Homo-oligomer: A and B are copies of this chain.
Amino acid sequence: MSKRTEKTIVDIAEELKLSVSTVSRALNDNPNISARTKDKVKKMARKLGYRPNALAAGLRNNKSKTIGLIVPRISMFFPATISTIIQNKLQEYGYNLIICQSNDSYDQEVALVNTLYSARVDGLVVSTTLYTTDFSHFDVFKDNNIPLIFFDRVPKDYNVKVIKGDDYVGGYTATTHLIERGCKDIVHISGPLTCNLYVERVSGYKHALQENKLPFKKTRVFYQELTRDNAWQACEKIFAQTPYPDGIFASNDTTAITIMEYCRKINVRVPEDLKIVGYSNDPRTEIVTPPVTSVDQYPTMMGERVVAALMELITSQASATAPRYSQEIIPIQLIARESTAGMVKAGGKKK
């Protein structure tokens, strides 16, 4: 193939009548190489167009200066934002990031974990699939003491470093907000309970109802992948019979926005007849009419904390005594917008 132009430190060494070790040290600014030699070496490196081979260095050092990231999909606002932060922060530390998407498929996740291990990443950051309940495929990383961090969608009962949102409080806050605005019959559209964060949000929802002496009705909670299609279908069920609910707490913004669309179609007014709260504070919540109340998860903060924690793990890797797991909780904040404005009318509404 190519024109054999790949220069190595050996070429530099020969050119300069130095040994490869000296060249290597010079390029790495090793203190016991004289300034003069360093200079010569670097000049020659530039002149020859030398490019370090990270594979070789990685093999020798047993570290790749590369971090793996697995998220369900990078096209969703929340993971996308976090990926961006992680990527940019990591770059500052001189690390590359291999971003992978599991597409919410357990099998793909397993496969990715293995190839990332093969790539000898120096750390792995994961937000799991909706359906990951067995985490043993991550054992390789634990067993080999390679930094492993989960964020947002984190494992239950698997000892590991975790950075998550305050989902219980999120669910509680969203529901309480609806109640404060006068809602008495609140539907909750949740993700599947295989994913623990939804369990917590449901639990927050439930407690808010209890605290306000409102009944928790099983028929008022939906568990489904939070896609547009599913949201639409849920609406068809919800509005197939009266009484309509007067509030909906949706566990993501896609769902919330879709519900609004449906409401427009069937002439249910938001917020007058129905109040809606979404989750994640996706920027789309601001551009729809009316703007949707949502729960901000501080993705920037979460991303920064992930990188900080990762770097701690990496630097403390030698002292294997440090606890390699802990749970860190990022706060949430409810952003009230028009979709939950005003008080609901006394009598409620009907078809």
List the interface of chain A (C-beta within 8 A of B): 1-3, 5-6, 49, 51-56, 58-59, 64, 66, 73-75, 80-81, 83-84, 87-88, 91, 96-101, 103, 108, 111, 114-120, 140, 143-146, 257, 261, 284, 287-289, 317-318, 320
Number of copies: 2
Q: Is the CB of B115 within 8 A of A2?
A: no
Q: Is the CB of B144 within 8 A of A2?
A: yes
State whether A1 and B55 are in contact (beta carbons under 8 Å apart), knowing that A99-B87, A287-B287 are contacts in the complex: no
**In whole Å, how far is A97's beta carbon from the nearest beta carbon of chain B?**
7
Partner of A97, one of B98, B120, B317: B98
Between A and B, 16 residue pairs with Cβ closer than 8 Å are A1-B145, A2-B146, A5-B143, A5-B144, A53-B59, A74-B74, A74-B99, A75-B84, A84-B101, A87-B101, A96-B100, A96-B115, A98-B98, A284-B287, A287-B287, A288-B289
A88 touches B64 (CB 8 A): no
| Residues of chain B lying within 8 A (CB to CB) of residue A49 | 140
Of B80, B284, B317, which one neighbours A75 at CB under 8 angstroms? B80
Which residues of chain B have C-beta atoms less than 8 A from A87's C-beta?
74, 99-101
Known A-B contacts: A66-B98, A91-B100, A289-B289. Give 6 more (CB < 8 A): A3-B143, A3-B145, A5-B143, A53-B118, A74-B74, A98-B98
In the complex, which of the residues A66, A99, A145, A318 has the most CB atoms of chain B within 10 Å of its own CB atom? A99
Nearest CB of chain B from residue A350's CB, rounded to whole Å:
26
The 4 closest A-B pairs by CB, nearest first: A2-B145, A99-B99, A54-B118, A289-B289
Q: How far is the CA of A99 from the CA of B88 in the complex (A)?
A: 11
Contact pick for A64, options B6, B55, B146, B318, CB 8 Å: B55
Given A103-B88, A287-B287, A287-B288, are A74 and B64 also a contact pair (CB < 8 Å)? no
Interface contact B257-A287, CB-CB below 8 Å: yes
How many Å from the CB of A255 to the closest CB on chain B? 12
A321 to chain B, nearest CB (A): 12
Residues of B within 8 A of A75 (CB): 80-81, 84
Chain B nearest CB from A103 CB (Å) reads: 7
Q: How far is the CB of A288 from chain B (nearest CB, A)?
A: 5
Instruction: Report the minimal beta-carbon distance from A86 to chain B, rounded to whole angstroms.
Output: 11
| Given contacts A119-B54, A144-B5, A98 and B101 within 8 Å (CB-CB) | no
Q: Which single residue of chain B is at the shortest CB-CB distance from A228?
A: B283
Q: Which residues of B contact A83 (CB under 8 A)?
A: 74
CA distance A87 to B97 in the complex (A): 13
A283 CB to closest chain B CB, in angstroms? 8
Rounded to whole Å, the gap between the CB of A11 and the closest CB of chain B is: 15
